[in-house]
Amino acid sequence: MAYLRLRQVVKSYDGRSNAVDDVSLDVERGEFVTLLGPSGSGKTTTLLMIAGFETPTSGVIELDGHDLVRSKPYERNIGMVFQNYALFPHMTAAKNVVFPLKMRRFPKSDIEKRARHMLELVGLRRFADRYPRELSGGQQQRVALARGLVFNPDVLLLDEPLGALDKNLREQMQVEIKRIHREIGITMIYVTHDQTEAMTMSDRIAVFCNGKIEQVGSPLDVYNRPANRFVGEFIGDSNFLAGRVDPSRPGWVELAAIGPVRVAQQATLPPGDVDLMIRPERLRLRPPGATDGADNAIDLVVDDIINYGDSILVIGKARGLPLRARIVGGDPEVLRPGVTLPLAWAVVDAYVLARR
């Protein structure tokens, strides 16, 4: 049985529409699972129901075989880290970390030892006597993380904890949170709308949309094999080309305005209308008149380019259809608007999705 188990969980605030709609999810002990989705998709509401701050309209939430739905938040051994830190401004970093230990009546001899160890774990021992106003945003978030971990919770919930940080600091904290997760092996449930955070930090990702889970899988699974077009569009950059599968031609997809292309999904292709997904980084330049070993070729007329330094995103059209290609090491003098680029992709670099 899963360590944390959600079964057919529903949350409705008005009795007519569901903020969370029939969500089922299993989380193993020690796993790092991210709830990923746009604003209003139900991910934070799901997190709050696990914490006990919201009550499910129906469904089951169990932790290690014990029913959580009837438990008060303070009766659950669950830690919580918020986006706005929620530190006590009149307390030092050390006293903020000590606070949950005192509330849980830990032995006095154990409190100082635990707090000191946790501040060391997050790299803030020498800042123990500073107040939140004397700490940077990243340091405040480390204090909040230490406070959420210090009482040895069964699960740590993190609600967009890095949303208020700048890009460089956010990336540093991603590394720190993953390091702490590896060192202590705690079960973590992380909520974000940032695809990069989800891809770099998670063991598994649950993709939310309109209160439902669209797909659960490893970061590479949801990126390379999305369950539907929403997942493919929400995670990463994608090209979608409309096509049709003819059962009499296995291994081929007939693309509108482009023609037949070979694909790797031979046995699993659904007959009828489909979308062919090609990630921009899977498209590569080919020598004129050759496919460079690839099985499919296409010509892109450049409309615009975005230079990222290490790569160039080329935006244009192929036979009138919008297309984007990310070229590594490309020359911006060559990849200029108006030119026609010969591109190619291998059969394994495209993924076919049934049209809903």
Statement: residue 294 has pLDDT above 70: no
CA triple 213-183-118, angle to 5 deg:
105
**Which domains occur in the chain, in start order?**
4-230 (3.40.50.300), 237-354 (2.40.50.100)
Q: What is the pLDDT of residues 79-117, one digit of tens each?
A: 999 888 789 999 999 999 999 999 888 998 899 899 999
Strands 66-67 and 58-63: antiparallel
Look at residue 293 in the predicted model and tell me its pLDDT.
60
Helical (H) or strand (E) element with 281: none
Lookup: tokens for 42: 């139900």
By residue count, the chain amounts to 356
- Cβ of 97: how many Cβ atoms within 10 Å? 30
Asked if residue 221 has pLDDT above 80, the reply is yes
CA dihedral sign of residues 152, 189, 279, 226: positive
Quote the pLDDT of residue 71. 92
Residues 208 and 22 sit within 8 Å (Cβ to Cβ): no
pLDDT of residue 88: 92
Mean pLDDT confidence for 304-327: 92
In sequence order, the β-bridge partners of residue 188 are 32, 156
For residues 76 and 52, give the distance between their C-alpha atoms in angstroms, rounded to a whole number.
8
pLDDT for the residue 51? 96
236 phi and psi angles, rounded to 5 deg: 80, -175
Asked if the model's pLDDT at residue 305 lies above 60, the reply is yes
Distance in angstroms (rounded) separating the CA atoms of residues 138 and 130: 14
User: Which among 209, 189, 204, 192 is positioned nearest to 47, based on CA atoms?
Assistant: 189
Beta carbons of 352 and 269 less than 8 angstroms apart = yes
279: Cβ contacts below 8 Å, ≥ 6 apart: 236, 237, 238, 239, 349
Strands of the 321-328 sheet, one edge to the other: 284-285, 340-345, 296-307, 311-318, 321-328
CA distances from 55 to 38, 61, 70, 72, 118 (A): 22, 10, 9, 10, 31
What are the C-alpha distances in Å from 250 to residues 94, 181, 216, 298?
65, 45, 29, 21
Residue 169 — very low, low, confident or very high, per pLDDT cuts 50/70/90?
A: confident
pLDDT digits (tens, 9 = 90+) for 234-266: 999 999 999 999 888 888 899 988 889 988 876
Q: Tokens representing 301? A: 């007329």
